[in-house]
Amino acid sequence: MHSGASDRNGKSTTVCLCPLPPKMAQSILDNMPGASTGTVVVTDPLNFWGGRRVKPREEKNAEPVFEPATGRVLCQMMPCGAEEVDEAIKSAHTAYLKWSKMAGMERARVMLEAARIIRERREKIAKLEVINNGKSITEAVVDIDIAWQCIEYYAGLAGTLSGQHIQLPGGAFAYTRREPLGVCVGIGAWNYPFQIASWKSAPALACGNAMVFKPSPMTPVTAVILAEIYKEAGAPDGLFCVVQGGAETGTLLCHHPMVAKVSFTGSVPTGKKVMEMSSKGVKQVTLELGGKSPLIIFKDCELENAVKGALMANFLTQGQVCCNGTRVYVQREIMPQFLEEVVKRTKAIPVGDPLLDGTRMGALISKPQLEKVLGFVSQAKKEGGRVLCGGEPFVPSDPKLKGGYFMSPCVLDNCRDDMTCVKEEIFGPVMSVMPFDTEEEVIRRANNTTFGLASGVFTRDISRAHRVAENLEAGTCFINNYNISPVEVPFGGYKMSGFGRENGQVTIEYYSQLKTVVVEMGDVESLF
Ligand SMILES: NC(=O)C1=CN([C@@H]2O[C@H](COP(=O)(O)OP(=O)(O)OC[C@H]3O[C@@H](n4cnc5c(N)ncnc54)[C@H](O)[C@@H]3O)[C@@H](O)[C@H]2O)C=CC1
Ligand SMILES: C[N+](C)(C)CCCC(=O)O
């Protein structure tokens, strides 16, 4: 399956692993140090189960995967059908039978080794992520670091999982066992491909489950690297499997009778479908969905930090972040200073080749996504919004980037709560700014949304900060910062942004179940 893709100069690095000796797994990454934007073609199979990469059974439904920075074809994504999904799930189940019987400390050792390998290859993995996703290398390295930290964190928890002992009358007693669920499914989005696969697999594996993961069809290339690394670290074959595909493959996974749980990251409409399908088999579900999060900036804030916070809340990963604080409420008195500073800094963001160290914003995921985001900007103008900067297609001077999906980051002023850009998730680099007068008013406006993923507040008044945090209807509230994501901290939504959590200790609850064992020490007192 050679896509025949090459850059404008006809040069390409073909990364091919067929046939598939397990130790060759690394070679896709071995080509990374020399790789530059517009040169990589991935031709090796992207499915993984039974401890190896698996070639797709059928090539007829192949979909091209694009390199966002150039618009070139990077590889072909070939969706798995029913038989392949079944094979992957059975392979995961075989691993589960072994893995779930190991002590937490034994599982921890494998996971720590996986974390170590990821850390060692962080730059190469990040590079491949950039080529597939379009985000800047500076950010991708942070994503990979968060990924291994997450695996390390849950490795640490694996050995602490335990039940309770409960005394009962007459010497009888009960105890609880914290047991895994079985085979869990992870369905990922394209904005944090490797990190999402790690956020889902780390707690799942720590608890003794196996996982079958389906990446987004737009970003199929790095989840399989994680699968290879788990294997290399000593995980039993099948413990973390990857099946490629889109909605159809996802549906097969959600309906499969051997699946105990589905953890999903993506849009609200798809999340609803996943929940509905999972309900047929009474499967547990975690949903990490979209958002339209408020960021509230009071006049007593430290302005420079608030401006930096607003940029962090809007422009990471070209604005394609579910927890972004895209509704920026600024207290009227400081609006002019805020806008001046935020626009100055937004205009200064270097947009361009995502593999260059100096770049801070790369390309959006796809042409349709770019068009959708630009459409939101034109709609905002029609509805009375004022573009203070950006919001236009951006064509870098480097000829190889001419077909890339770039746009200039945008700040919209003169926004109102009833405008489309303020109500809907844009998933692009567009910040909507609105004035407010009082705390009570801004909380009411901030909560006037069906979403509830995150929120933020900048103020120097500590009472106000905690009062606002208490009253915002969202799963996270950042005080005097935004979009930092330590893996020790739970992450997840309120309202239509979903339920269940990722990261933090609590996620153990979402990947395990309690068995109660009741022990009689005397005779049975029968009523009959
Ligand atoms: N909150 C978040 O983190 C994300 C939000 N989005 C939002 O969603 C919009 C559309 O992006 P998409 O990638 O199309 O999101 P999506 O929600 O359709 O896809 C997410 C994942 O679900 C899978 N999927 C799609 N239909 C499915 C089904 N019927 N059953 C099971 N799995 C299914 C996809 O293949 C992908 O792996 C974006 O423009 C953005 O607004 C997208 C990605 C992440
Ligand atoms: C890493 N962080 C917090 C910037 C974003 C993670 C959530 C997502 O998948 O969008």
Residue pair 277/311 in contact by the 8 Å Cβ criterion: no
Instruction: Give me the pLDDT at residue 9, please.
Output: 41
Mutate to test the pocket of ligand 1, among 213, 216, 494 (most ligand atoms within 8 A of CB): 216
pLDDT higher than 70, residue 500: yes
**d(C-alpha 437, C-alpha 447), whole Å:** 16
pLDDT higher than 60, residue 14: no
**d(C-alpha 274, C-alpha 56), whole Å:** 24
Average pLDDT, the chain: 95
**What's the mean pLDDT in 33-45?**
94
State what percent of residues in the chain have pLDDT above 90: 93
Cα–ligand 2 centroid distance for 397 (angstroms): 30
pLDDT higher than 50, residue 2: no
Mutate to test the pocket of ligand 2, among 192, 199, 484, 501 (most ligand atoms within 8 A of CB): 192
Provide DSSP, 463-483.
Answer: HHHHHHHHHS-SS--EES--S
Cα–ligand 2 centroid distance for 518 (angstroms): 43
Residue pair 230/116 in contact by the 8 Å Cβ criterion: no
Nearest CA to ligand 2 atom 5: 321
Cα–ligand 1 centroid distance for 214 (angstroms): 11
Q: Which of 22-31, 86-95, 304-313, 452-461 has the lowest mean pLDDT?
A: 22-31
pLDDT higher than 50, residue 1: no
Read off the pTM.
0.94
3-state secondary structure of 296: strand
Q: Is the CB of 192 under 6 A from ligand 2?
A: yes
Residue pair 240/263 in contact by the 8 Å Cβ criterion: no
Q: Is the CB of 427 under 6 A from ligand 2?
A: no
Backbone angles phi, psi at 513, to 5 degrees: -135, 160
**d(C-alpha 125, C-alpha 114), whole Å:** 13
pLDDT higher than 60, residue 26: no
**d(C-alpha 178, C-alpha 514), whole Å:** 5
pLDDT higher than 60, residue 201: yes
Instruction: Give me the pLDDT at residue 19, please.
Output: 39
Q: Is the CB of 322 under 6 A from ligand 2?
A: yes
**d(C-alpha 110, C-alpha 115), whole Å:** 9
Instruction: Give me the pLDDT at residue 332, please.
Output: 98
Cα–ligand 2 centroid distance for 484 (angstroms): 9
ipTM of the complex: 0.94
Instruction: Give me the pLDDT at residue 31, please.
Output: 85
Mutate to test the pocket of ligand 2, among 322, 425, 482, 503 (most ligand atoms within 8 A of CB): 322
pLDDT higher than 70, residue 440: yes
Instruction: Give me the pLDDT at residue 4, please.
Output: 39
Number of DSSP helices (H) and strands (E) in the chain, helices first: 16, 22
Nearest CA to ligand 2 atom 1: 485
Instruction: Give me the pLDDT at residue 10, please.
Output: 40
How far separated are the first and last CA of the chain, in Å rounded?
71
Nearest CA to ligand 1 atom 8: 267
**d(C-alpha 133, C-alpha 220), whole Å:** 10
Q: How far is CA 444 from CA 262, 417, 437, 439, 448, in A?
A: 34, 11, 12, 9, 6
Q: Which atom of ligand 1 is nearest to the CA of 289?
A: 1
Closest ligand to residue 277's CA = 1
Catalytic residues: 288
Dihedral angle, C-alpha 467, 469, 473, 474, nearest 10 °: -170
Q: Is the CB of 436 under 6 A from ligand 1?
A: no
Tokens of 87: 């094979």
pLDDT higher than 70, residue 405: yes
Cα–ligand 2 centroid distance for 184 (angstroms): 21
pLDDT digits (tens, 9 = 90+) for 428-437: 999 999 999 9
Residue with tokens 């291994």: 148
**d(C-alpha 252, C-alpha 139), whole Å:** 33
Q: Is the CB of 324 under 6 A from ligand 2?
A: no
